[in-house]
Amino acid sequence: MTVPGTFDTSARELIHAGLQNLDEARSLFRQLSASGFDAARCGLLLDALQHVCDPDVALRIVTPRKLDDVTDSTVDIFIAFGDGNWPNRAVELLCEVEFTPLCSPVLLNKIGGIAEPRDLLRAPLLHLGDFEDWTRWMALANVENPDSERGIIFSDMNLVYSAAITAQGVAMGDELTCRKAMKAGQLIRPFDLSIKSPKSYFLVTDFAKIEHPAQLAFTEWLKSRLSQTRNA
C-alpha cells in the first residue's frame, strides 16, 4: 500500500540538516518502506498520517505474515513485535505492551455486569493463537480453578478486537491499540489489572541504513506521534 504524504516540519528539518538543498532532500525522501504492522495496529500509523500532507512522497506500508519477520530486503525499516533478538540488525525499543481484559458495554449488560474477575468467565473468552494471556491474567487475578482454555481462538488480532467490539466475548487487549475504540465507548476496561507481554515493539533496520536522513526523520516522527497518542 502506498500512502501519499510527508512528515511534519521538525522531521523535514532533520532531513535538511544533512543535505545541501531541498531538491536533494525530496529526491532522497521520495519513497520510504515500513513493515511490521498487523491489521489492528496499522490503524495507529494511518491515524498519524492525518498529520502529513505533502504529495511529493510515498510511504509504502508492508504487512508481513509474522510480526517478527525482518527479512524483506525491499523494506527500509521494520516495526517488529518480538523479544528484541534480531542478530546483525540495529534494534531500538519502540514500546512495551501490557494486556488487560476489554469488552463491549453491550456484552457487559448482557451478562449482568462484572463485579470481580471470576465474573468474566460468564462470557466467551477471545484468544489470539493460544490460551497463554488469559491463563496468566487469571492467575494474577487470583481466580481459583479458572477454565480459561475455552472460548474462541483467532489467528488475527484484528478479528479478536472486532469480535470484542461486536459483543462476541472478552478480549485481552492493550490500551494503545484499542485507544480509539475505548474513547468511542465501543470497548471498556472492567479491571485495572494488566499483564506485561513478553514481547515488545521494536524498530529494526540494517546497520548500513541507520544514519540515513529520511530514516532518522521517520523514526523520530513515529516515536513522537506514539508518545502523543499514549499521553492523549
Domains delineated in the chain: 2-89+206-231 (no CATH), 97-197 (3.40.190.10)
Residue among 230, 175, 218 at smallest CA distance from 7: 218
Phi, psi angles (nearest 5°) of residue 121: -70, -5
Res 38 pLDDT > 60:
no
Res 208 pLDDT > 80:
yes
Measured from the Cβ of residue 219, the count of other Cβ atoms closer than 10 Å reads 19
Angle between the N-to-C axes of helices 213-231 and 9-17, in degrees from 0 to 180, rounded to the nearest 10? 150
Q: In this predicted model, what pLDDT tens digit does every residue of 123-177 receive, in sequence order?
A: 999 999 999 999 999 999 999 989 899 999 998 888 999 999 999 999 999 888 8
Mean pLDDT of 209-228: 82
Q: What is the pLDDT of residue 213?
A: 82
Q: What is the pLDDT of residue 190?
A: 95
Per-residue burial over 100-127, b if 16 or more Cβ lie within 10 Å, else e, is: bbbbbeebbeebeebeebeebbebbbbb
Per residue, the 3-state secondary structure of 182-223, as one string, reads HHCCCCECCCCCCEEEEEEEEEEECHHHCCCHHHHHHHHHHH
Measured CA to CA, the distance from residue 13 to residue 86 in angstroms comes to 31
Percent of the chain with pLDDT over 70: 73
Q: What is the pLDDT of residue 221?
A: 81
Lowest mean pLDDT segment, chosen from 88-97, 127-136, 173-182, 185-194: 173-182
Contact 168, 102 (CB under 8 A): no
Measured CA to CA, the distance from residue 173 to residue 100 in angstroms comes to 6
Grid cell in block for residue 196: 506485561
Give the angle 217-69-127 at the CA atoms, nearest 5°.
110
Q: What is the mean pLDDT of the chain?
A: 79
Res. 35 pLDDT band, cuts 50 70 90:
low
Res 232 pLDDT > 80:
no
Handedness of CA 5, 9, 14, 18 (dihedral sign): positive
Q: In this predicted model, what pLDDT tens digit does every residue of 39-79 receive, in sequence order?
A: 455 555 555 555 554 555 566 777 777 778 898 888 888 88
Q: In this predicted model, what pLDDT tens digit does every residue of 105-128 receive, in sequence order?
A: 999 999 999 999 999 999 999 999
Res. 29 pLDDT band, cuts 50 70 90:
very low
Contact 123, 166 (CB under 8 A): no
Res 23 pLDDT > 70:
no
Widest CA span in the chain = 67
Contact 77, 219 (CB under 8 A): yes
